[in-house]
Amino acid sequence: MEEQVDRLVQKMWMKYKATPSSKRLLIAVSGIPGSGKTTLAKLVAEGLNAIHNEQAPGRASTPIATSVPMDGYHLSRARLSAMPDPNTAHHRRGAAFTFDDKAFLELVKTLRRTLLPESKTVYAPSFDHAIKDPVADDIPIHPASRIVIFEGNYLSLNQGLWKEAAELMDELWFVDVDFETARTRLLVRHVAAGIAKDEEEAGNRADEIDLVNGRQIVDQRLDVQEVITSREDESWHPRGQRDPE
């Protein structure tokens, strides 16, 4: 994966250098569950910040690049319970309809505004895995953070408000992985995170929820600027703490 990450870092650094200081670069990384999109977003942000630290050490206190996961836009359990079919909503948590796409679109619109000397820090929600619910205003996006890398399942979905948000991005990236590899990663992840008690339960969850969502993500994908092939190596191993449910 290192070569792919390095290429993307260099590409976006050159694009950043050519971007007016009053504008942010917005990148959306999507992919099916288990594809490695979170890891990619973090690695690219780290690479961009490393270059910035080397070239502008006196101005490196605030990262130039920030990665923002979509976990914080899960609907709370209370909002799922208020839906017409709460049992299905809770069971399918992680499907597109269980996210607050309207709030995410508003964040993207806010970040698209012209940066001015008086611009304030913008905050995105995070996800607390202990309480299994979002935490409002928990991820700061400073005015100096001129590159924002979003990552989430539905960021290149050709549907509704997801499409509107995607059309505001400077680049759409898709992390491509075969479903069997993703399923194997999800088994490890779900057991490690305590979401499933064993591999059998984890497999049921992957088959009934994650990979069903994955089919929609693939079949209804917009055209993207980059397709990154997810390969097995040390830097892209599954991370158990990533799952919100």
Q: Where are the domains of the chain?
A: 2-178+220-230
pTM equals 0.90
**Which pLDDT belongs to residue 210?**
92
CA dihedral in degrees (36, 42, 47, 51; nearest 10)?
160
The β-bridge relationship of strands 147-151 and 171-176 is: unpaired
The dihedral built from the CA positions of residue 213, 44, 172 and 177, taken in this order, carries a sign that is negative
pLDDT tens by residue, the chain, 245 residues: 789 999 999 999 999 999 999 999 999 999 999 999 999 999 999 999 999 998 876 665 689 999 999 999 999 999 999 999 999 999 999 999 999 999 999 999 999 999 999 999 999 999 998 888 999 999 999 999 999 999 999 999 999 999 999 999 999 999 999 998 999 999 988 888 777 788 888 888 888 899 999 999 999 999 999 999 987 665 555 443 344 44
Return d(Cα 66, Cα 145) in angstroms, integer.
6
**Which pLDDT belongs to residue 233?**
61
**Which pLDDT belongs to residue 235?**
57
In the chain, where does DSSP find H-type helix? 2-17, 37-55, 77-81, 86-91, 101-111, 160-166, 179-192, 199-205, 211-219
Is the CATH code 3.40.228.10 the one for domain 2-178+220-230? no
Lookup: tokens for 1: 């994966």
**Which pLDDT belongs to residue 92?**
92
**Which pLDDT belongs to residue 130?**
84
